[in-house]
Each structure stands twice: as C-alpha cells, then as structure tokens.
Amino acid sequence: MSPANQPWYQIMNVEEIPSPALLLFPDRVQSNIQGMLDMVDGDTERLCPHVKTIKTEAIIRMMVRSGIKQFKCATIAEGETAIKAGAASVLLAIQPTTSNAKRWINLAKAHPDRDFGTIVDCKESIESLSELSKQNRISLKLWIDLNIGMNRTGILPGEEAVKLGEWIQSHGNVELGGIHAYDGHLHQSSIQERQEACECWHSKLGAFVSLLKKNGFDRLPIIAGGTPTFSMQAANPEFICSPGTTVLWDAGYASQYADLDFSWACVVLARVISKPAPDLLCLDLGHKAVASEMAPPRMNCLNLKVDEWVSHSEEHLVVRSSDASLFSVGDTVYAIPWHICPTVALHQHFHVVENSLAKEKWMIESRNRMLTF
C-alpha cells in the first residue's frame, strides 16, 4: 500500500520499530501549534503552554520557532528542557519546597538572560525563596496561585491573597509576577456547562483584581485555565492561556471537548503477542506503556475493533474482538492513548514519522526527574 492510500497513522517500515513504542507525527504537531495560535488570534504573548505533556526539547523548539516564548512546567527538568529549547520565560507551576527551590534557583542562576518564576500560596514560601534568591544574587518572579475551586493548591481570592502580594513586595530579590488561576476541576463535556462554570470563577477573579487595584497594585498578568477551558480563556483578551495536551491531543479529550479542534499527533504502536482463544488477542501494551489510571477504555484502537477489554496488567493487554481472526501473532495495532500526558512519561523517545516512515528518534528528555540541575 502506498503512503497516499494508507491510513495516516500506518508506517511503511513498521518492522523496524520495536513495540510498544510511541510514533510522533511532526506535521500534526505543527498543525496543533498553529491551532493554538489561531485561538488567540496569533498573539503569542497570550500563550504560555504547559510542557508537562510533551517533555521534549525538539517539540518545544517547534513552538519557539512559531513565536511562542513563555512556558509553564511541573518539574525542574521540564523547565531545563524548555530553556534548552529556547524559551525566554519559564514558570514552575508547582510551589517548590526547599530542595527543589534550590534547584530552580540554580537553573535560573545559570541562565541570567531568561525569566524564571514560580507560583506561591503562602508566606513561608515567599520568605524561603527570597532568602535563597538573595544568597544566589538573582531575582525571581513569584506568581500568586489562586484556589478557584479545585482545592488542590492556592490561596482563596480575597484579602489574604492581597496580603500575600504585599508580602512579596516587601521582600528582596523577588517580585510579583502576576496571578496564576488553574481550573483543572472543570471538565464538563457540555460547552454551555463548562462556560457557566468558567464564568462563575471569572467573576470571583474579577472581584479579586478590583480588590488588588484598590490596594495599589498595577494591572497584573493573569495565566488562566488549562486545556479543557482553553476556548473560554482565549475569549478573554486579558488572559494568558496555558493549554498543554493540545500539542499532541488524546482520545479522552477528543471524546469530551467538541469545541477544541485538534488532531492526534502521537500514536502508540503495539503488537499481537498471543491468541489465547479464538476471540481473544493479547497485546504487548501493558500499564508500563500506556496511561492506566482510569477505567477502560484506556485507548482508542485505530485498526482493531475491541468488543471487550478483558484484562490489563504490567506488560499485557487482553481484548475480545469479533475481528480476532483477522490478526496473527506479530501483527501491528495502532492506538491513541486516552490520557497522553502520563503515557509520554513512560517512554524514552518518540519515533518521528515523516512520509509514512519512522526516520529518527526524539528523546523525551524530561521524563527524567533530574537532568543537570
């Protein structure tokens, strides 16, 4: 079958690729990057993508080449990878305790021409980060992390959050970077319900911004939302948007969010390794190769009809299929993970596909917890 006649996800040199593996399609990645830009009318200053999904210098570099210069990260390794890819500004979106704060500050010290920040929600962190920054003769931006309903991290918007901003301003070697408001608790499939939920916290945020102004704070940047509410945040020109999954997309979000028009850019390649019964297939796609924190289905098989997800363990996936007779041991199965972010973290590299051929490997550098710093 010629490339023009075969499904987009199939590769011609599949026999050269050990399984399980991740296939990456850069043309689709680039299309998704453009889609992100289109949602903010091409204003790169309104995008601060989260790199926790991709963890890969080469992919971040694609975004940098598209004009995106600021990023969010969840680990110091991800931040280092973003800096290596050319990021001008990186925000650590987890409040660091002392050991990780030291690593973050050492990374910042090694790159004085870049902008480094982290979120904070308590005075203790501000004091610690101020002292560490002073010791290392750097300046660090601190963003007030608001709890807007997720109840995971952050301080409730109100007087105490204003005092936190004043506390930042009263300390040396740190400055108030802006407001961080993440709404990861909102995942309604209904666009209207998601919109209404966003409007609820938007109104609380608006009241908080007014309170800040009354207390003498100038207009502060606001990094708002994640992927599920990207379209809602993009509609507000005051917000910097922070999607992450949009770069690669996955089966879970594709099934839930009709308002987000992105393409699958990463495919898991697996093989049939046993046929224990006429209607059963065992694939080499266990927990160690695909995210499995959710109940089945944990993937969308593109070239295999699955009637029942029978069992899933560390190395094996057993499915029941009325099409089992069409498959032999060694045959390839292509699948889209339900949750791409932790799936990527399970692999060392992507096999990069161009013109239906897997030609090279891109290392997933920051799947490691520590690189240089």
Measured distance CA(251)–CA(339) in Å, rounded: 7
Give 121-134 pLDDT, tens digit per residue: 999 999 999 999 99
Q: Are residues 139 and 203 in the same domain?
A: yes
Query: Does the pLDDT value for residue 4 go beyond 70?
Result: no
Predicted confidence (pLDDT) at residue 255 exceeds the cutoff of 60: yes
Tell me 219's DSSP state: P
Looking at the 3D structure of the chain, how many domains does it have? 2
Supply the range of the domain harboring residue 326: 14-23+265-367
190 and 325, same structural domain?
Answer: no
Q: What is the pLDDT of residues 67-97, one digit of tens each?
A: 999 999 999 999 999 999 999 999 999 999 9
Identify the pLDDT of residue 3: 63
Q: Is residue 73 part of a domain?
A: yes
| Residues 65 and 156 grouped into a single domain | yes
pLDDT per residue as tens digits for the range 148-182: 999 999 999 999 999 999 999 999 999 999 999 99
Confidence of residue 218 (pLDDT cuts 50, 70, 90): confident
Q: Could you tell me if 70 and 40 lie in one domain?
A: yes
What is the pTM assigned to this prediction?
A: 0.97
CATH of the domain at 226: 3.20.20.10
**Mean per-residue pLDDT over the chain, rounded:** 98
- Do 277 and 222 belong together in one domain? no
Residues 53 and 77 in one domain: yes
CA distance 237 to 373: 36
Sign of CA dihedral 172, 178, 184, 186: positive
**Does residue 293 sit within a domain?**
yes
pLDDT of 1 above 80: no
Question: Are 303 and 192 part of one and the same domain?
Answer: no
Instruction: Note the pLDDT tens digit of each residue in 323-342.
Output: 999 999 999 999 999 999 99
- Establish if 199 belongs to a structural domain: yes
183 contacts 198 by C-beta, under 8 angstroms = yes
CATH of the domain at 302: 2.40.37.20
Q: Which of 193, 212, 244 is where one domain is finished?
A: 244
- Amino acid, single-letter form, for residue 348: Q
Round to the nearest angstrom and report the end-to-end CA distance of the chain: 48
Print burial letters for 337-353: b (CB count within 10 Å at least 16), e (below 16).
bbbbbebbebbebbbbb
Residue 351 lies in a domain: yes
Please check whether residues 42 and 73 belong to one and the same domain. Answer: yes
